[in-house]
Amino acid sequence: MSSIKNVPFFEYPRLWSDDRENLLKIIDNVSSTGGFIMQKALIEFESKLSDYTKSNFSVGVGNATDAMEIFLEAIGINNNDEIIISSHTMLATASAIKVNGGVPVPVDIGDDNLISAESIEDSITERTIGIMPTQLNGRTCDMERINKIASKNNLFVVEDAAQALGSKFKGRHAGTFGLASCISFFPAKVLGCLGDAGAVLTQDEDLYRRIYQIHDHGRDINGEVKRWGRNSRLDNLQAAILSSKLVNYEDVVNRRREIAQMYQERLEDLEQLKLPPAPNSDPNHFDVYQNYELEAENRDQLKDFLSQNGIGTLIQWGGMAVHQFTNLGFDVSLPKTENFFKKCIMIPMNIFINNSDVDYICEKIVSFYKNNV
């Protein structure tokens, strides 16, 4: 009998231990100058982020949830204005709309598990003011199609790109298709820091000014109070850490794509699974594989079996699509999404796993279906 390996879903301590010397140096450098808040390290990171994504403007904020709340506040929502979202997203996408007085309208997913263009069109009402697609699992939606629907119906588009830094559709970066977008630097995100952090990207200078003011007590760059605001700033220690990690970001993305390709080759013959799109399966999409989320027959048994074999898995959003939180007042049935949530599971996808971990995971999945079905 082969021995049991330990392959956690995500090893948080390694964010520190794999890079300890460098991180200590960064913390020492930033702290020695006393530049903790809105100083050089942050300005540098914001500019690197804009360069990398080819975005006109970026503003570091406390986290991606704040980012969405802030850009929606800057755009302005009237009471009961509706914004269409995918039901397969983090609850934060919906709550950002809610706290601004709007109504989040969750709709069904399409074949690639991202928001379905047909469902968007079917859900537009007189109250709809915008569409906020989630660039889920590191894949960017067909934004050409979504932007076409939006302009036809006079709606704005904003993106929840929390999971999609570096992901592209037709060569253009996630987060740069609409009025504004959010990126998350939560530790387990592809570009993760040692705590909470996020950013807003926007292409519009006027909107940028309002977003900037809202994130810093309503003050503009010169410190003059222009409006009501709040405090949601990206702190400089995290910014310096993120700048350092952005240097090798392409390598990280390529490694994740390599793992996705290995999963594809080793698992594609199992008819009990539906895998996410493979890295080079569609020239319009460049995916960064924030997650490797698949649909599996006997999902719960598979999850137990993998756990008994030392393999960590996770069911996204605790196993609930947004519209399934009925305590929040949602009352809609979305068959494709509901079906998906009965089968979905995420297997390890990060730079801490090596090729033999991937082999081991695939071997166990194959043996589960050989012996159980």
Ligand X SMILES: *Cc1c(COP(=O)(O)O)cnc(C)c1O
**Nearest distance from residue 89's CB to ligand X, in Å?**
5
Q: What's the Cα-to-Cα distance from 356 to each of 74, 262, 273, 359, 362, rounded to whole Å?
A: 48, 11, 21, 5, 10
Cα 354 to its chain centre, rounded Å, is 23
Among 89, 113, 232, 337, binds ligand X (CB under 6 A): 89
Contact 363, 372 (CB under 8 A): no
Compare residues 93 and 238 and give the one whose CB is closer to ligand X: 93
Compare residues 226 and 330 and give the one whose CB is closer to ligand X: 330
The Cα 69–Cα 66 span in angstroms is 5
**Nearest distance from residue 312's CB to ligand X, in Å?**
18
**Nearest distance from residue 364's CB to ligand X, in Å?**
27
Compare residues 101 and 195 and give the one whose CB is closer to ligand X: 195
Q: Which residues, in sequence order, are bridge partners of residue 294?
A: 345
State yes or no: residue 186 binds ligand X (CB under 6 A): yes
**Nearest distance from residue 277's CB to ligand X, in Å?**
18
State yes or no: residue 64 binds ligand X (CB under 6 A): yes
Compare residues 184 and 202 and give the one whose CB is closer to ligand X: 184
State yes or no: residue 92 binds ligand X (CB under 6 A): yes
The Cα 257–Cα 278 span in angstroms is 8
- Residue whose structure tokens are 């009471």: 79
**Nearest distance from residue 345's CB to ligand X, in Å?**
16
**Contact track, ligand X, 125-164, x by CB under 6 A:** ---------x-------------------------x-xx-
Among 53, 58, 86, 93, binds ligand X (CB under 6 A): 93
The Cα 24–Cα 9 span in angstroms is 26
Give the binding-site size for ligand X (rule: CB under 6 A): 14
**Nearest distance from residue 139's CB to ligand X, in Å?**
12
116: nearest Cα among 104, 125, 128, 108: 108
**Nearest distance from residue 161's CB to ligand X, in Å?**
8
Contact 86, 218 (CB under 8 A): no
The Cα 129–Cα 180 span in angstroms is 15
**Contact track, ligand X, 293-332, x by CB under 6 A:** ----------------------------------------
Contact 206, 190 (CB under 8 A): no
Compare residues 55 and 184 and give the one whose CB is closer to ligand X: 184
The Cα 129–Cα 150 span in angstroms is 9
Contacts of residue 117, Cβ cutoff 8 Å, sequence gap at least 6: 110, 142, 145, 146, 149
Compare residues 49 and 64 and give the one whose CB is closer to ligand X: 64
State yes or no: residue 65 binds ligand X (CB under 6 A): yes
The Cα 304–Cα 308 span in angstroms is 6
Pairing of strands 198-202, 57-61: antiparallel
**Nearest distance from residue 154's CB to ligand X, in Å?**
26
Pairing of strands 292-296, 168-169: unpaired
Cα 13 to its chain centre, rounded Å, is 21
Contact positions with ligand X (CB under 6 A) in 192-211: 198
Compare residues 242 and 267 and give the one whose CB is closer to ligand X: 242
Among 53, 55, 58, 63, binds ligand X (CB under 6 A): 63
**Nearest distance from residue 254's CB to ligand X, in Å?**
21
**Nearest distance from residue 66's CB to ligand X, in Å?**
7
DSSP assigned state of 364: H
| Span interacting with ligand X, options 60-68, 72-80, 200-208, 273-281, rule CB under 6 A | 60-68
The Cα 257–Cα 349 span in angstroms is 9
Residues that bind ligand X (CB under 6 A): 63-65, 89-90, 92-93, 134, 160, 162-163, 184, 186, 198
